[in-house]
Amino acid sequence: MPDFLRKFIGLLLIFAAVGVASCQALVASCSSGAAPVPTVGAPR
């Protein structure tokens, strides 16, 4: 396999694995805390 192609595939895999896992972790942490904040004096 040519050196250029090997590095290209390697970088793609790194982006796909590390990048996607990192972004998913960020999205998960943002969405898990999206519960409504209790407000003081809200109508019952």
Nearer to another protein, 4 or 43 (CB): 4
Site for another protein in 2-41 (CB under 8 A): 4, 6-30, 32-33
Closest contact distance (angstroms) between CB of 43 and another protein is 26
Residue in the block written with tokens 């790194």: 14
Q: In angstroms, rounded to a whole number, what is the distance separating the alpha carbons of residues 36 and 15?
A: 34
| Interatomic CA distance for residues 18 and 32, integer angstroms | 21
* Cβ proximity to another protein, 32 vs 39, nearer residue: 32
Q: What is the smallest separation between the CB atom of 37 and another protein, expressed in angstroms?
A: 11
At position 41, the amino acid (one-letter code) is: G
